[in-house]
Chains A and B, each alone.
Chain A
Amino acid sequence: MRADQLASVWKRILAYIIDIFIVNSIITRPFNKLMENAIPKKITSFLSLAENFDWKTLIIISLVSGVITILYWAVLEFKIQQTLGSLLLNIKVKSESKKLQFSQLLLRNITKISFVVLLLDSIPVLYSAKKQRYTEKLSKTITVENEK
């Protein structure tokens, strides 16, 4: 049995860009107006900036839209092992051990709740043998080329 070829970093980055575009422009778009309302329309001074942000609203919206973002990846990878971005770049997710479980996919995608957290999670991709993020190592999943 031929070993799976690991997906290149650039393909993975491009796939992520396509997916995050879909998530931001379509899926979480209904939250945009709420976000706008949480940000003051008139900033009287930089000192008032922190006071006039509706922090409660911003945190709640970020959490809810973050969960929906994670579900985009987790549900699609569970159903077809691919998202739209990975389908277009011909890569897919695989479990290292058993059959792919939904809990593995939730864990591997949990850092997509925030770009900064995802960036930190992705550091090992640059040096690890299997090009895995921290959460991919924890969830025992890898991203490979989709052999036809």
Chain B
Amino acid sequence: MKNKFKTIIIVIILLWLISFFSARLMKNFLEEGVVSNGIAIIPIEGTIMIGEGDGIFEKTISVNKIVEDLERANSNPGIKAVILEINSGGGGVVATREIVKAVKQVKKPVIALIREVGASGAYWIASATDWIIADEMSITGSIGVYSSYLEFSGLLQNYNVTYERLIAGEFKDIGVPYRKLTNEEKNMMQRKLDLIHELFIKEIAENRNLSKEKVTKLADGFFYLGIEAKENGLIDELGGRGEAIAKAEQLGKLKDGNVIVYKEKPSLLDYLNKLQNKAFYSMGRGIGVSLTETENKLEIIA
């Protein structure tokens, strides 16, 4: 009986080991195929958010997805370098910083490739990489913070609607769109924005090895074209995907890298969004044309 139990335990352990190593092997194979000399391209497209956005009117990207992709690339021994392909105007501050932290934890060369837009938070992420490439006409920079919103107290007054203020905590309803901010409240909000702005500047200066004074001058919130960003040191090189891959091969010390794009499979909702966007665009165009076009015709009216 004892021998039988011993045999059973040995077989269970052996089979568990087979499962363990099979699962490890399959993990890399299924996700990226068997990779060697791999260059992972991780797209960052849309507004950067902590959670998943609704996606109905705006393309958003979740922090979790990007961080997971970075960890995947980092832990896959077949991946030698990472390219962040950025086409984003930024997003939430905390979301951005989580991605910046994840980028800095990658122990392989990371290159940022800015496509149409890589501004504000998206530029913050790019600055944390080892090399930034952008097209001459790419929009980047926009080193600033805003928290603007529409305030409706005037409109409500016109319709004889009042905002009944019931709060505990003097500043609890700060930012509510039904009343104007007081000067004190405006100053308080401004101080918060200034704090975040200072941190933004400090991190860009550190990441890009620029003086804080220089970055402060550039950090007026305005955007720069790629060609301007190259001149003022915000990016390293002008180019596109080809240049990014070449740089990844150089920094990753590889020849003829295998490019793997970490793309999310589109869901039915993504297809419906696309169709909807096309429909709305056509509607808008039609309305615009009918409002602006004039017809000149000769009429004889009796």
Q: Which residues of A come within 8 Å of B, CB atoms? A: 22, 26-31, 33-34, 40, 42, 44-45, 47-48, 51-52, 54, 56-57, 60-61, 64-65, 68, 71-72, 75-76, 79-80, 82-84, 87
Contact = CB atoms under 8 A, between A and B. Distances in A.
B23 A31 contact: yes
Interface string B39-76: 00000000000001000000000000000000000000
Contacts of A82: 4
15 contacts: A29-B16, A30-B16, A30-B23, A31-B22, A44-B267, A45-B267, A51-B268, A52-B267, A56-B30, A61-B26, A64-B26, A68-B22, A76-B7, A80-B7, A83-B8
Contacts of A31: 19, 22-23
Given A30-B16, A52-B267, A80-B4, 16 more contacts: A30-B20, A31-B19, A31-B22, A34-B26, A42-B52, A44-B267, A48-B267, A60-B30, A64-B22, A72-B15, A79-B7, A79-B11, A80-B7, A83-B8, A84-B12, A87-B5
Given A57-B30, A79-B7, A80-B4, A27 B265 contact: no
A42 B267 CA distance: 11
B18 interface: yes
Interface residues of B, number: 22
Which 9 A/B pairs are nearest by Cβ-Cβ distance? A30-B23, A48-B267, A48-B268, A44-B269, A30-B20, A30-B19, A27-B15, A47-B268, A57-B30
Contacts of B26: 34, 60-61, 64
Contacts of A54: 30
B268 A45 contact: yes
Nearest to A148: B1
B214 interface: no
Contacts of A84: 8, 12
B268 A28 contact: no
A22 B5 CA distance: 14
A78 to B, nearest CB: 10
Contact of B11 (A44, A64, A72): A72
Contact of B19 (A29, A47, A51, A76): A29
Contacts of A26: 12, 16
Given A56-B30, A60-B30, A68 B23 contact: no
